[in-house]
Structure 1
Amino acid sequence: MRKLFLYAALLLLTQCSKCKNDDPSPLERLPPATQTGANTFGCLVNGQPWTPQGNDGTANYTVSYDRFPDGGILNISTYKIYGQGATDFQTLSLWAKQITGIGSFSFLNTSSAIARFGDVKTNCIWRSADNTTTYRRGTLTITKLDLTAGIISGTFDFTLYKPGCDSIRVTHGRFDKKL
Structure 2
Amino acid sequence: MSGLFATDPSLPYLAMRFRTLLTYLSLLPLSACTKSCNDYDNNEEFARAQLPAYTETGANTLGCVLGAQKWTVLGSQNSPSPLGSGWRPNVLQVYGGSSVPPLLEVRGTMSGVRNSEVFYDREIALTFLLSDTLGGLRLLGEDTVRTRPGHYREYMEALDLIPYVGYHSSARRPVRLLIRKLDRQRRTVSGTFAGMLYGGSLSGHDSLAVTDGRFDVKY
What amino acid does structure 1 have at the position aligned with 2:92? Y
The higher relative CO (CA closer than 8 Å, separation ≥ 6) is in 1
Q: Where does residue 22 of structure 1 map in the other structure?
A: none
| Aligned AA (2:162) | K
User: Whole-Å Cα distance in 2 between the matches of residues 174 and 81 of structure 1?
Assistant: 19
Offset of residue 142 of structure 1: 1.3
Deviation string 1:71-102 (CA, Å, 9 cap, x unpaired) is 311100111111232563111001123x3336
Unaligned runs of 5+ in 1: 1-27
Letter matched to residue 173 of structure 1: G
Number of aligned residue pairs: give it.
147
Asked if the contact 1:39/1:176 (under 8 Å) is kept, the reply is: yes
In 2, are the aligned partners of 1:154 and 1:176 still within 8 Å (CA)? Answer: yes
Identity of aligned residues (%): 27
Q: Given the superposition, is the C-alpha separation of residues 65 and 141 from structure 1 closer, same or farther in structure 2, using an over 3 Å criterion?
A: farther
Residue equivalent to 1:21: none
The separation in 1 between residues aligned to 2:50 and 2:110, in whole angstroms, is 16
Q: Describe how 1:4-153 pairs up with structure 2 within 5 A.
A: 29-56=50-77, 57=88, 59-69=90-100, 71-83=101-113, 84-86=116-118, 88-97=120-129, 99-101=130-132, 103-108=136-141, 110=143, 112-128=153-169, 136-153=173-190
Letter in 2 for 1:62: Q
Q: Distance in 2 between matches of 1:169 and 1:137?
A: 12
Tell me if structure 1 keeps the 8 A contact 2:169–2:198. no
> Amino acid of the residue matched to residue 80 of structure 1?
M
Matching of residue 157 in structure 1 with residue 197 in structure 2: no
Specify which structure has the higher proportion of helix.
2
Larger Cα-atom Rg: 2
Unaligned runs of 5+ in 2: 1-48, 78-87, 148-152
Tell me if the contact between 2:190 and 2:215 (Cα under 8 Å) persists in the aligned partners. Answer: yes
Shift of 1:55: 2.8
Q: Distance in 2 between matches of 1:149 and 1:137?
A: 29
Whether contact under 8 Å (2:63, 2:215) holds in the other structure is yes
Q: Is the 8 A contact 2:112 2:118 kept in 1?
A: no
Alpha-carbon distance between aligned partners in 2 of 1:74 and 1:45, rounded to the nearest angstrom: 21
TM-score by length of 2: 0.58
| Secondary structure in structure 2 of the residue aligned to 1:144 | strand
* TM-score, normalising length: structure 1: 0.69
